Structure formats: C-alpha cells, structure tokens
Structure 1
Amino acid sequence: MKKLLIIHGGGPTPVLNASLFGAIKAAKRFNIKNILGARNGMQGAVDEDFINLGDISSENLSNLLTTPGTAIGSSRYPMNESEYLNMVKMIEKNGISHILMNGGNGTMDTCGKLKAACDDYGLNIKIMGIPKTVDNDIAVTDHSPGYGSAARYMAQSVQELCADVKSLPIHVVVLEALGRNVGWVTAASSLAEDAGLGPDLIYLPELDFDEDKFLGDVTNLLTKKKGIVVVASEGLHKKDGSPIVEPIFKSGRATYFGDVSSHLANLVVKKLGYKARSEKPGLLGRASIQMQSQVDRQEAEDVGRIACEAVLEGESGKMVAIRRKSNDPYEIEYYLMDVEKAMMHERKVPMEYINAQGNGLNENFKKWCRPLIGVDLPKMIAFN
C-alpha cells in the first residue's frame, strides 16, 4: 500500500500552501489513502510526528489557497550525516513509500542526500522535490513559486512608499528587502516605476557595496529633489565579502541579518546632515495574502500537483522546474530536473539585469519579472 509523506522546509511563502493543496489533490486522485505531513518540517520527520492529511475536508483543503505560511509547519532543522541513516530506518519502520520535499536549495540538498541514503541502504523509496522560496535563489529553474507574490508585495509597497515621500518630501527613506545573498526581491521594487512612482536607488548584493558611492548617489539626487526612496537588500556586503552590518545571529545557513536600512539611514544623517529614516517590512513581505499573485498561486499549485503525480508514477531524485518560453505573452512549461542541480546552488540576479550605474534595474529585468506579479499594479499619480 502506498504511503505518501510531505515535508516542508525553510521559510514560508504566501503560496506554499497552494503547493500542498496541489499535492494532496493529486494524491487523492491516485486514490492514496495514507497522506502524511511532517509536523514542522524535518524536525517532525525525525521525531516521527505526523499529521494525517488524508481526511481533510474539501472546505479546509480549499482554505489552503488563501492561507499564508504552511499549514503543516516548517523548520530549518540541520541534518547531519549520521541522521540520514536514522531517517531511512524511520521511513522503513513507518512503511512510507513516497516522499515530497517542498523548499529551497537547502531542502533540495536534503532531498538529494536522503535519496542517496535510501539507495545506499537498499530501500526503494521514491522522493521528489517541489521548489519554493521567496528569495528566488534555486538554481536552473526560471523562477520559484513564492517569489511572484513577494515581488508583488515589494513593488506595490515601494510604490505606496514613494507616493508618501513625494507628498511630504523632507527626508531620505531607506527600505530594506528580504533575500539573503541574492537581490531578486529587492530588484522587484523597480516595477513600481511602471505605475508612475518608483524608487530612486536600488542596491543588490550581487554587487559589492561602496559606502562612498552610495553617499555620492544620494548627494547628487538631493540637488534635484528633497524626498528620496532607497531600496536596499539585507545581504549587502563590502568588497571583501563581509556584510555592511554584522549579522545579529548565525546558525548554519540561517542568518539573522543586521539592520541594513537603519545603518544606511544613519549614514545619511551623520555624513550628509540630512533627515533620514528606515523601513523594514521583514516577514510581512512573505506573509501577505492581500498581495498574493494569482500567477504565483497557480504555479505553486501546479508544481505541487506535478511533483505528486510524477513521484507516484515512479519518478525519483528529481525536482519540478519551470522553463520560460515567452515573456509577452507569458508562457512557461514544467519539466523534471535532477535534484542534484539545485542542491545548495544559489541563483543570483544576472548582471545584464542591473543598470550601468549599479544602483537600479533595467528593462530586461522588468520584462522578465512583470508576468510573475499577476495583474498590473494600481496606477498612481502626483501633480507636484
């Protein structure tokens, strides 16, 4: 009898539950009765703490589509080498035949290693990866479910912030974006320009941060306008690779970054003598159903469904990926790639998407990103 285990790993997204919805619906179509969720990710799997997902009502299943986070919980549980054999024995003990692992490149690393451990042990388990991350840093795939909604949140929030600053142009405002070592979420703020009000400066971690250049950019703008909006990535670093603000805490791959926006605002105050303030939406940027992209939600549901169908049909050691066929009209196709290609490989913003000054994005990026955020942002106007 087939028994399916679903494991979520890493940070939540506004559409992670849509992938769970897609996977459960597909499993039910295959008449799978035993559908388990690991409570709070790999920690739950290690502890054999499972949630019965097979008896969920149709109403509660549909509610997953409009619930952010993850209904079964996640974790950043770091698996050491010795624990993989214990996991294999747990899988055998509980009669689990198929596993879906939904997460980012760290989760795909675990997925690949667990598959190898099962093979070495001689246990014929089918394991499949489902991509998920607001950071958009999973290698190979064109983009990852979770990113489109985070990008929409960032674009519209920055648009609204720009309208506020233009209304009372008395300070420099620095907004900090999530994204760890990559600048995809930060870059999405450039789409605010499409609706008439966009940021003045954008700084990504793909480029070394130069404090003097930053202050020069701000100084130059202050000769033309009194209110300035800057969007900066939490992962900004100096030329030597060290962060511009020391992290508050580090545990394995999990980094709790220092307050970059506050640091940059303080630089403006201290070095330029101009009023400045910082803003930091933080977790709100990955928890907003109000800003959920319908394109993102559909793709999240699709990858969950396709992964479940593929693993139940015998595929293993793969991850569902997305290939872009066209920007306008937007067209993609799904395919299975070897999970090894996504194991701990970060996908950064290409240099051809960044403007020549290194403080903004160009039209190449916008053409790529626009379809992912769904319907157009609301149009805004200013007469001053």
Structure 2
Amino acid sequence: MLKGNAIVGQSGGPTSVINASLAGVVEAAGKSKAIDRVFGMRFAIEGLLNDYLLDLSAEPADIWKKLKTTPSSALGSSRHKLTDDDFAPILKQLQKYDIRYFFMIGGNDTMDTIHRIVEHAGAAGHEMIGVGVSKTVDNDLHGTDHTPGYASAARYVALSVLQSGLLARDMQRVDQFAIFQTVGRSAGWLPAAAACAKRSAADAPHIILLPERPFDRAAFLAEVARCQKKYGFVSIVCGEGITNPDGSPVSASETTDKFSNVEFGAMGGTSAAMMLHKMISDEFGWRGEFQVTESLQMCAADRAVKLDIDEAYGCGKQAVKLAEQGTSGVMVTLTRESKRNEPYRSGFGQISLAEAANAERPMPDKFIRSDGMFVTKAFLEYAAPLVGDLPDYVNLTIKKASAKARS
C-alpha cells in the first residue's frame, strides 16, 4: 500500500453541498492507515502553485460535521487554467509535502486537471494516486446519474419558480409575464427542474427554454401569446446558454473566459432573460420582469436537500476508499439503484478521469417535449426524488360574490 500524505482541493463554481464532499474526504483520509496528514489547497491549484496549503489534520474533529451543511467552498476556489509551465513547480510541491494521494472536487475542467497532474507526476517518477469527486449544479458530467450539488440547486429553482409564479399570477394586472433564468451553460438540467413546481396547467412555469434545443423566436412568441390569453399571465424559465438556430447565444454576449467559454450574466454584459424580455415587450407592449439569480442557486444551504448532502459526503468517502485500494485516474459517480416506482436508492460508481474530462451530458431527447418548450413526464420521474417534496400552497376558489343575501 502506497503511504504518504493526501491533498484535497475544491475547484470551479461552488455548490450547497461541496463542503460535504470535502468533509467526506478529510474524515475518511484521517482514518486511513495509508495516509499520515491531509492538506488542503487554498484556492485550488493556485494554492498548490503558491505553497499555500492548509493543515486539515489540525482542524478540530467536530468541525467536519458542521461543514457538511455550510455552503460555498471552504478551501476557496479558482478557475486557474493549467499551463505546461505549471507542472514543474507543482511537482516540487508534491515532493516537498510527500503527497501520494491527490483529490479534487469539481467538474470537467477539474477532472482534466487531476488527470494531467497525476500523469506528469508519474512520468517524473513521483508515484501518486489521483481520484476526482464529481461536483456541478449544471448536472452535465458524463457517466453519472446526477452530480452532487444538482439536487439542491434544482430545488432552489423549483421553489423560486413556484413562489415567483404565484406572484406573477397575482400581479397579472400589472405585469403580464415573468422570466426566470438559471445557470447551467449549455445544459438544460437546471431550467428543466422548474417543472417540478407545476401542479396544474395554469401553474408556473408555462414555458421552459432549454439549451439542447435551438431557440425559435416565432414559435416562442406564439406560445407566449397563447399562455397569456389562457391564464392571464405567462411564466417562462430559460437556461442562460440557450442559442439561436445559427448557434449564437440568445444573450448576444460576445465575451469569453480563459477557457473560451461564453460569459453569461453580469460578466457577459447581457443575458438571455433580458433579451427575451425585450422581445416580448416589443412584440406585445406588455410590462414584465426577469429574474437572474446567478450564483445564489449555487450556495443556498437553506434549500439544500438532505439526500444531496448525504450523497456528496458519501462521494468524498468513496474517493478515499478507491484510493486506498490503489485505484487511480477515476472520478466517483452516483448510480441510481432503484427501479421505477421504487423508493429512491443510489450507489457509487466510477469513470475514468479522461472520459469525464472530455465529454458532457446534455439532457436526452426523452426528457424534452417535442416542441422543445417544456419537459416530459420521464424527466419529472427522474428529478422528483432529487428535488424532494415541495410546499402545497392553496388557492382561493375565486367565486364572485353576489349582492343577493344568502338564504
């Protein structure tokens, strides 16, 4: 059995439960006979490059239980893009601290980072095991039923649309439409989750626009008009990354980040929701509002799902278990063990880091309605156990009063 120290980092955008995965890694590593000390990267790979490591073994033992329900990324995160010049100083740090077990919690880019560092370390003669823990609210990682963080973010979206939908309904004499935009880039898993809020045809949301389908302006405006006429208002949910038929973003953003990804929301200077708002206002002359919550859905611990916390924690522990067994170059995944109509039950699997880093998982066709503007029953069956029970709000019967006295 390989013996030495372990290091763990959190990278990319946070989630409501990423700290639960951190707690799982640290607590399991602390009990391992193969691991002496556990270090944490302060601000992910930047901490490793800059010799800013935290001694997590020195933290009070009771802190990890509380950390499981603490939002955001306790170690600090980063979106540093590895260059060839980074590997020599990284190797020096790995040798300096005798790092033999390398863990990171993150998404596609993070899995690529682990893979490259472990490969370079091995080529330089430094034996090290690397295991990734999946994380992303986008839910677009390949090879897993869902990702830790998605369930809580999905619940945030469903609750937000449920409650803002009631507001939109009751304010329809002022605002005829409301648009809620989610994060998720090119994946529609988060906007789709809004459908969990719907109990009847009149309830919000009426339209869900997913990045997996090209935006059809004419069809969209026709559906907006139909819903507003039928219900008195229209509730729309859109993914930030929806695109026109030519592939250009509906947000009209031309700004990209260091990974060449289109910047949405504030950094892009515009948003899909803003553009949809303008389309509707210009076409119909209606008042309306748009809601862009951005990172709030990524760190709302008050709406975190217990199942999500437990699975995230379990993924962290599973990563250490695999590493102790000598398994390297993999990402821990979640599997759905329950069959249809059975109580939800999950387990753990694994996928190679290389495969996880180089593939994305869009929503499958079976989850998307034929017109591309809502989801199917199959998606609701997939998402409902993750989102959990939602409040059962009541409606007045709206029976118009008569001046005639009751007999």
Normalising by structure 1, we get a TM-score of: 0.96
Q: Amino acid of the residue matched to residue 355 of structure 1?
A: R
Cα deviation, residue 55, structure 1: 1.3
For structure 2, the residue ranges without an aligned partner over 5 or more in a row are 265-269, 399-407
Residue 256 of structure 1 corresponds to which residue in structure 2? 263
| Structure 1: 4+ residue segments shifted above 6 A | none
CA distance in 1 between counterparts of 2:161 and 2:229 reads 22
Cα deviation, residue 371, structure 1: 1.1
Q: Amino acid of the residue matched to residue 213 of structure 1?
A: A
> Out of 20, 23, 36, which is 2:22 matched to?
20
Matching of residues 341-380 of structure 1 within 5 Å: 341-374=355-388, 376-380=389-393
Q: Is the 8 A contact 2:240 2:251 kept in 1?
A: no
Q: Is the 8 A contact 1:176 1:234 kept in 2?
A: yes
Residue 235 of structure 2 corresponds to which residue in structure 1? 229
Residue 124 of structure 1 corresponds to which residue in structure 2? 127
CA distance in 2 between counterparts of 1:365 and 1:296 reads 18
Q: Amino acid of the residue matched to residue 185 of structure 1?
A: L
Residue 173 of structure 1 corresponds to which residue in structure 2? 178
CA deviations on 1:103-130 (whole Å, 9 max, x unpaired) are 0011011111112212222221111010
CA distance in 2 between counterparts of 1:344 and 1:10 reads 16
Q: Amino acid of the residue matched to residue 251 of structure 2?
A: V
Matching of residues 28-67 of structure 1 within 5 Å: 28-30=30-32, 32-67=35-70
CA deviations on 1:274-312 (whole Å, 9 max, x unpaired) are 222111111111111111011111000000001012213
SS at match of 1:117: helix
Q: Is the 8 A contact 2:69 2:309 kept in 1?
A: no
SS at match of 1:34: strand
SS at match of 2:302: coil
SS at match of 1:250: coil
Q: Is the 8 A contact 1:7 1:45 kept in 2?
A: no
- Judged with a 3 Å threshold, the aligned counterparts in structure 2 of structure 1 residues 238 and 213 are, in CA distance, closer, same or farther, namely same
CA distance in 2 between counterparts of 1:280 and 1:365 reads 24
Cα deviation, residue 139, structure 1: 0.5
Cα deviation, residue 194, structure 1: 4.2
Moved more, 141-150 or 342-351: 342-351
SS at match of 1:278: strand
> Out of 103, 107, 111, which is 1:100 matched to?
103
Q: Is the 8 A contact 1:134 1:146 kept in 2?
A: yes
> Out of 189, 208, 215, which is 2:194 matched to?
189
CA distance in 2 between counterparts of 1:174 and 1:284 reads 16
Moved more, 337-346 or 11-20: 337-346
CA distance in 2 between counterparts of 1:99 and 1:29 reads 16
Cα deviation, residue 211, structure 1: 1.5
Residue 84 of structure 1 corresponds to which residue in structure 2? 87
Residue 267 of structure 2 corresponds to which residue in structure 1? none
CA distance in 1 between counterparts of 2:262 and 2:62 reads 37
For structure 1, the residue ranges without an aligned partner over 5 or more in a row are none
Q: Amino acid of the residue matched to residue 252 of structure 1?
A: K
CA distance in 2 between counterparts of 1:60 and 1:331 reads 28
CA distance in 2 between counterparts of 1:333 and 1:360 reads 30
CA distance in 1 between counterparts of 2:391 and 2:130 reads 42
Q: Amino acid of the residue matched to residue 6 of structure 2?
A: L
Q: Amino acid of the residue matched to residue 382 of structure 2?
A: W
SS at match of 1:290: helix
Residue 9 of structure 2 corresponds to which residue in structure 1? 7
CA distance in 2 between counterparts of 1:192 and 1:33 reads 48
Aligned Cα RMSD in Å? 1.6
Q: Is the 8 A contact 2:179 2:237 kept in 1?
A: yes
Q: Is the 8 A contact 1:197 1:380 kept in 2?
A: no
Matched pairs, number: 383
SS at match of 1:202: strand
Moved more, 129-138 or 306-315: 306-315
